[in-house]
Amino acid sequence: MTINEKLEKLREKMEKYNLDCYLEHNVDPHQSEYVADRWKTREWLSGFTGSVGTLVVTSKKSALWADGRYYIQAEKELNGSEIKLQKKGLEKTSKVHEWLSKNLKNNAKIGLNGKTYSEKYVSNLKKNITLEDIEFITRYDIVDELWKDRPEIPRNKAFIHPPEYAGKTRAQKIKNIRKKMKEKKCSHLIISTLDDIAWTLNIRGNDIKFNPYIISYLLIENDNISFYVLEEKIDKKIKKQLEKDNISLKNYSKIVKDLQKLSKKDKVWYSPETTNMWIVSSISEEANKYQKRVPTKLMKAKKNKKELKNLKNCQIKDGIAMVKFLIWLEETIKEREIGEVEAAQKVNEFRKRQKYFIEPSFSPISAYKENAAMMHYHAKEENQSFLKNKSFYLLDSGGQYMDGTTDITRTIPMGVLSREEKFHYTLTLKGHINLANSKFLYGATGSNLDVLSRKPLWEHNLDYKCGTGHGVGYLMGVHEGPQNISRTPNKIKLEEGMIVTIEPGIYIEGSHGIRIENDYVIVKDKKNNSDQFMKFKNMTYCPIDTQPIIKDLLTEEEIKWLNDFHSKVFDKLAKHLNEEERTWLKKKTKKL
Amino acid sequence: MTINEKLEKLREKMEKYNLDCYLEHNVDPHQSEYVADRWKTREWLSGFTGSVGTLVVTSKKSALWADGRYYIQAEKELNGSEIKLQKKGLEKTSKVHEWLSKNLKNNAKIGLNGKTYSEKYVSNLKKNITLEDIEFITRYDIVDELWKDRPEIPRNKAFIHPPEYAGKTRAQKIKNIRKKMKEKKCSHLIISTLDDIAWTLNIRGNDIKFNPYIISYLLIENDNISFYVLEEKIDKKIKKQLEKDNISLKNYSKIVKDLQKLSKKDKVWYSPETTNMWIVSSISEEANKYQKRVPTKLMKAKKNKKELKNLKNCQIKDGIAMVKFLIWLEETIKEREIGEVEAAQKVNEFRKRQKYFIEPSFSPISAYKENAAMMHYHAKEENQSFLKNKSFYLLDSGGQYMDGTTDITRTIPMGVLSREEKFHYTLTLKGHINLANSKFLYGATGSNLDVLSRKPLWEHNLDYKCGTGHGVGYLMGVHEGPQNISRTPNKIKLEEGMIVTIEPGIYIEGSHGIRIENDYVIVKDKKNNSDQFMKFKNMTYCPIDTQPIIKDLLTEEEIKWLNDFHSKVFDKLAKHLNEEERTWLKKKTKKL
């Protein structure tokens, strides 16, 4: 079927179900960042392969919203279909609710698959559409009816993440969760986000690439826990372990029946941001609701001592892999050009050789020269660039290990650099240090601190169009909330034990891209009367190339930070390297 | 009547009206920052005279929430009554909704005077109280029934604020408001905040001290406008002017009747944060509601060119007054000690001599030595301190003029200073400059930028327990939203033409307090591709004392900022001063 034919089939169904429009996006029932192929429904329907983007179809029109990263790609992929591209983020572009307000009438019936839309999404849309008496119909999954060879729900095996890695037993975690439930007088807690389930149960899976999750739901009550999952994923050993902790396995979709049975005396806690409409609307009307972020989010974000100790070892291994990669790069480029794809494979190979490595934590961004100016560039065999002995090569990569998750970006000078490239590299480094070296009062959020990284860039009228940093999981998503470092308002305090990246950058279209990224853990600094101060402690052990630095632009304090950082890097890695590698590292970590 | 007797009387009424509890605070029907005596109802009932604080009375208990500024004062003033002080802000202190949840039962009836509580306040309380089926009864003003000699609504005369000061005519402003209403498809706009009414109508009044407002409501429709106000305030000339713009005078409380008459085809815009329950609940149930901040807030905040030009002159006059005051202070302290109250009166006197001066924009904070560590200290004849020739004297003051509103703080060395005092002064100055000298991307909010002022303090584990700055009105409130500079999340971008203060400080209990405050206007900086950068332009022309500065702690850039600032100050003021004053200013603005 062509895209237009698919849309006509969709419209036939819309008519049958009496819908005036239908919304589709690539989201799974758990609001995951990465989704299994089964849930790439918008991709199937529209042909647009980007990770984010909403398709809206009315009886006469269809439109797809894609953000700046995808303007060019979407234009290409939608070409030949009737779908009009809506460039999200431009001032002239209508938002989805504005477009719907214009293209529908009062009393309109809006269809969407309730399994993939959160309650919050639907209620926001409802609030913002200016038409009267609109109705949302969430019970049809029309793409499922049309998509003949739709992939199955992944059925990969789960594995245990034992307490020697996780730091806490399943029982300890559940006890803490129940304490929170008691505080809020809740009898039930619905957890539908896969990272929270994996963390709570100390298990991991392989259902989603880069993210070691198991497609499932969890329902915690005061005296028992139901784990809704395809049973074949859970082997006998795991099942037994879970049963010992009073956790019973139930079929993946049975959660709905259980929620329908709730009564007046029950109070159900769930997060409206991440719980889908199918789940929410199955909660018995008699039951009371408590709509707040689930408590595991914050518990999970604050890494425990064992996790932090393990993560340190994990980061040393990751640093070793990076150093070996950087040496390989330096040697190889002397002899021949290197493809971006080969370089990306190479860094994964070096990681693979490290103990407890499982998989990359995301698909590496391996970008030479002007390609690095595209923040989400992905090199493909057919149209990659080849690294030469000049300008910058940017590599953003990371690994999933039993003892942690890593994320690091280095921008590597491949040979001769222009004055501008050096200037931008130095400003980016200043931005990195200005935040990494800051102390802050306990209570400050990432949106309070974000500007510290931008200030050295803003002074020269430069900016980067993304956040400064994000939380990082522990054998979990490389992007993990609720904390982050961005200008967008958020109320999450940076707490002791939280991991965040700091990754300012400068991206000059058609020319070059620079980003310098380390992972940090938030630790306590001094206490002054009642004021607790906090600071960032570095967790990434890999040299930051000093060759492109214009030293005169750095303050004494900044030079000191860099020298201390490099002496620590050498200290941690040297004993794990051979003579030759150690000599290389000695040179790279030399005092500035 | 004693406080306890008043509470017993209140309880009799509560029983009569079938209320389980009653809330009272010092707020007027317009949610004004300063209130006329008539609305000091909580003060009358509890004896507590602080500006902010909620009293809650149940049949058995009573409690009053006061914040850090008022712990000591409240304790003293509540002494002898049954009221329990709740120290707001301490972790162990229950919030009002938590206290109510504990002390009331399901089905409780909570009474409060709907005229002084906003819709938002009530709905938040409702949301947060964990009891079931509670009901809010908003129709009784019990204190009014008990308070025999309650002051009347102020009846002072209004005056015109003509376009040569206001920059825009009433008609132009109304046209812009109606444009916004049309965009939102609204037929009615309720404005109940007094600054927005004064701004819209280009009139001012004398109903509230320090704030030149007129107690009133405004209802804007597509073809006519109703101004609800006690008619005696508006003389014939003003009435005629208003009528020419199609604005009809109606009795102050008649707005309720007009709102009751609305029909199904009407859509009413009002701000739930600032519109009281009495108004909101009078809106006909048939009418549609649009609940958003009223459009005048942002229009008013972005000063027009005429306003900015006038404000510059106004600030020069204010600077002249400050300089004369500083000289007086310097001369007088050589001869004798000076009372804090006298100094506060003196600065007002110097302002009074300036053209177009109306009144102080707030009661000056005139605080010597350790008194300055209390951020909201107010010197009183009976317990003031006397300035001597050592340590710091802090003066925070400002004026209302026909051509603007000012707000300035200087911390003045009276003689010998300790090393710590100098150190803290220098850090405060660094904090001030670090923000004042920053460029920022258009779109940044005050909560993004606040940290720039704190960073130099945080590096030494110091902080100040308040925001860094606030908006300033134009012959209007000295604190004016919606923008501000504080760590608390807000979404208001800093826009061209907005006025903000920058006023970091260091407050050491029992020792000293330092604050350095200027007013700034936000202006455009360079544009780089699509990125518009913005910066702060100084509007305050008064020297910052350089004597306490430890020069080694300042960077070259900071010294340059200070020298440029001082050369501007001299430039603007010199020609308005006599020989002797000019010599003094030359010395005070000397290059560092």
- Domain boundary assignment for chain A: 3-146, 159-300, 305-588
8 Å CB contact of B455 and A454:
no
A109-112 vs A21-24, strand pairing mode: parallel
The yes-or-no verdict on residue B432 having pLDDT over 90 is yes
Residue pairs between chains A and B whose CB atoms are closer than 8 Å = 77
Check residue B68 and give its pLDDT. Answer: 81
Check residue A180 and give its pLDDT. Answer: 96
8 Å CB contact of B451 and A451:
yes
Check residue B387 and give its pLDDT. Answer: 97
CATH code assigned to A305-588: 3.90.230.10
Check residue B570 and give its pLDDT. Answer: 98
Pick the CATH number of A159-300 from 3.40.350.10, 3.50.50.60, 3.40.50.300, 3.40.462.40: 3.40.350.10
Residue A132 pLDDT grade (very low, low, confident, very high; cuts 50, 70, 90): confident
Report d(CA A136, CA A114) in Å as an integer.
9
| Residue located via tokens 């999750």 | A213
The yes-or-no verdict on residue A529 having pLDDT over 90 is no
CA distance B359 to chain A (A): 37
8 Å CB contact of B443 and A528:
no
CA distance B368 to chain A (A): 23
By CA distance, what is B487's nearest residue in A? A448
Residue B334 pLDDT grade (very low, low, confident, very high; cuts 50, 70, 90): very high
In this structure, how many other beta carbons lie within 10 angstroms of the beta carbon of residue A332? Answer: 15
8 Å CB contact of A448 and B443:
no
8 Å CB contact of B448 and A445:
no
CATH code assigned to B159-299: 3.40.350.10
8 Å CB contact of B439 and A461:
yes
Under 8 Å between Cβ of B451 and B460: no
Nearest CB to A461; choose among B130, B447, B526:
B526
CA distance A383 to chain B (A): 28
8 Å CB contact of B447 and A447:
yes
| Helix/strand/coil percent split, chain B, to 5 | 40, 20, 40
| Residue located via tokens 């939102």 | B184
Query: In one letter, which amino acid is B31?
Result: Q
8 Å CB contact of A455 and B438:
yes
8 Å CB contact of A439 and B461:
yes
Under 8 Å between Cβ of B266 and B187: yes
Residue A345 pLDDT grade (very low, low, confident, very high; cuts 50, 70, 90): very high
CA distance A72 to chain B (A): 18
Q: Name the 3-class secondary structure at A2.
A: coil
Homologous superfamily of B308-588 = Creatinase/methionine aminopeptidase superfamily (3.90.230.10)
By CA distance, what is B186's nearest residue in A? A130
Nearest CB to A448; choose among B185, B447, B459:
B447
Report d(CA B58, CA B103) in Å as an integer.
8
Average pLDDT rounded to a whole number, residues B549-558 = 96
Residue-wise pLDDT for B134-149, tens only, equals 999 999 999 999 999 9
Residue-wise pLDDT for A120-130, tens only, equals 999 999 989 98
Report d(CA B234, CA B305) in Å as an integer.
29
Average pLDDT rounded to a whole number, residues B184-188 = 95
Q: How far is CA A131 from the centre of its chain?
A: 35
The yes-or-no verdict on residue A97 having pLDDT over 90 is yes
Check residue B530 and give its pLDDT. Answer: 81
Under 8 Å between Cβ of A231 and A155: no
Report the range of poorest mean pLDDT among A86-95, A327-336, A510-519, B560-569: A86-95
CA distance B483 to chain A (A): 14
Average pLDDT rounded to a whole number, residues A38-43 = 97
- Backbone φ and ψ for A286, nearest 5 degrees, come out as -70, -30
Residue A291, beta-bridge partner list: A270
By CA distance, what is B452's nearest residue in A? A452
Check residue B306 and give its pLDDT. Answer: 98
Average pLDDT rounded to a whole number, residues B473-498 = 96
Check residue A278 and give its pLDDT. Answer: 97
Residue B350 pLDDT grade (very low, low, confident, very high; cuts 50, 70, 90): very high
The yes-or-no verdict on residue A91 having pLDDT over 90 is no
ipTM score for this prediction: 0.89
8 Å CB contact of B441 and A448:
no
Check residue B457 and give its pLDDT. Answer: 98
Relative orientation angle of helices B305-335 and B556-573, to the nearest 10 degrees: 90
Nearest CB to A458; choose among B441, B451, B461:
B441
Check residue A228 and give its pLDDT. Answer: 98
pLDDT above 90 coverage of chain A, percent: 94
B490 CB neighbours in chain A (<8 A) are: 489
SS (H, E, C) B149-197: CCCCCCCCCCEECCHHHHCCCHHHHHHHHHHHHHHCCCCEEEECCHHHH
8 Å CB contact of B439 and A451:
no
Check residue A465 and give its pLDDT. Answer: 87
Check residue B447 and give its pLDDT. Answer: 96
Residue B375 pLDDT grade (very low, low, confident, very high; cuts 50, 70, 90): confident
Check residue A584 and give its pLDDT. Answer: 98
Q: B519-548: b or e for each residue (b if 16 or more CB lie within 10 Å)?
A: bbbbeebeeeeeeebbbbebbbbbbbbbeb
The yes-or-no verdict on residue B337 having pLDDT over 90 is yes
Residues of chain B with a CB closer than 8 angstroms to some CB in chain A: 130, 185, 438-441, 443-445, 447-452, 454-455, 458-459, 461-463, 487, 489-491, 525-526, 528, 531, 533
8 Å CB contact of B445 and A528:
no
CA distance A461 to chain B (A): 6
8 Å CB contact of B445 and A489:
yes
Average pLDDT taken over every residue of chain A = 96
Residue-wise pLDDT for B190-213, tens only, equals 999 999 999 999 999 999 999 999
Average pLDDT rounded to a whole number, residues A322-341 = 97
8 Å CB contact of B487 and A451:
no
**Dmax over Cα atoms in chain B, in whole Å?**
75
Q: What is the DSSP string of B517-564?
A: BEEEEEEEEEEETTEEEEEEEE---SPPP-TT--GGGS-HHHHHHHHH
Report d(CA B478, CA B485) in Å as an integer.
14
The yes-or-no verdict on residue A578 having pLDDT over 90 is yes
B130 CB neighbours in chain A (<8 A) are: 185
Q: Do domains A159-300 and A305-588 have the same CATH topology?
A: no
Average pLDDT taken over every residue of chain B = 96
In this structure, how many other beta carbons lie within 10 angstroms of the beta carbon of residue A562? Answer: 22
8 Å CB contact of B451 and A454:
no
CA distance B3 to chain A (A): 35
Nearest CB to B447; choose among A185, A440, A489:
A489
Report d(CA B368, CA B349) in Å as an integer.
20
Average pLDDT rounded to a whole number, residues B470-495 = 96
**Nearest to A482, CA basis, from A290, A310, A296, A203:** A296
Under 8 Å between Cβ of A394 and A513: yes
Residue B89 pLDDT grade (very low, low, confident, very high; cuts 50, 70, 90): confident
Relative orientation angle of helices A170-183 and A194-201, to the nearest 10 degrees: 120
Homologous superfamily of A3-146 = Creatinase/prolidase N-terminal domain (3.40.350.10)
